[in-house]
A = this chain, B = another copy of it.
């Protein structure tokens, strides 16, 4: 693993970090035969189904941006991916978005049934906090304080004014038009809050100062919104094969999206404006912020 600041191709480094994340995710849950086997098989099925691992990479890049260590940030990097995966499992349920396909595979309830899918989501959410609470025996006061702060941030991001609140609003916005401000609030909660917790939580565990956190918060707000704008553009323009999930479903559910509210061209332009804003916020961090810059570009330029 290269140390921060080493001049390495950011793409090669992200690949290296993705491999690290994959291997630690596989270790973050009990094995498939651990009692009770059903729940561990179901939780691992969804968690280890691939995915871009954007949130863990943001957490590790957040720590690196403030010259913090990867190991310090890893519990948070895993926790945000566990929480992201739990939210996908629950959102895909028949009572919610009723989706059959996720990351190119049948959704959890299609494979394990609804009851186990609900419990697998619950298990991933619970395990996320457990990972962060499980401090090393030799933890000093600074580490304990950072863990508590990262957990509180994650609790807020995953809670009713974040992820859960956004999903409730999203369900309630079906089959009706909502105002542009309400749409932005919805997406800041549903998508932005967890991305923000990834960046800031990683930076907190990496020992960020308050001014550093201020800049990272501006970065996170911009990429959080950009992420959702690009999601809406892709949902309107790409097929299911490309996305690994049902395509065109926003339109089918008559959901308000950036595309339906602002049109396709303005949405694409908006994504690039937000990218510029994100890069600008990283200015004071200099070279250690390079991974975050690369991730911001990926979020805006991705095709799936």
Contacts and interface: CB of A to CB of B under 8 A. Distances in A.
A115 B148 contact: no
**What is the predominant secondary structure among interface residues of chain A facing chain B?**
helix
Interface residues of A, number: 58
Contact of A130 (B43, B133, B159): B159
B129 A151 contact: yes
Nearest to A42: B168
Given A130-B152, A147-B148, A160 B123 contact: yes
A144 B133 contact: no
Nearest to A152: B133
A95 B123 contact: no
A5 B93 CA distance: 51
Interface stretch (A32-40, A202-210, A252-260): A32-40
Given A122-B125, A147-B148, A133 B155 contact: yes
Nearest to A114: B95
Contacts of A156: 130
A148 B75 CA distance: 14
A135 interface: yes
Nearest to A118: B90
A39 to B, nearest CB: 5
A28 to B, nearest CB: 12
A90 B154 CA distance: 22
A144 B140 CA distance: 10
B160 A30 contact: yes
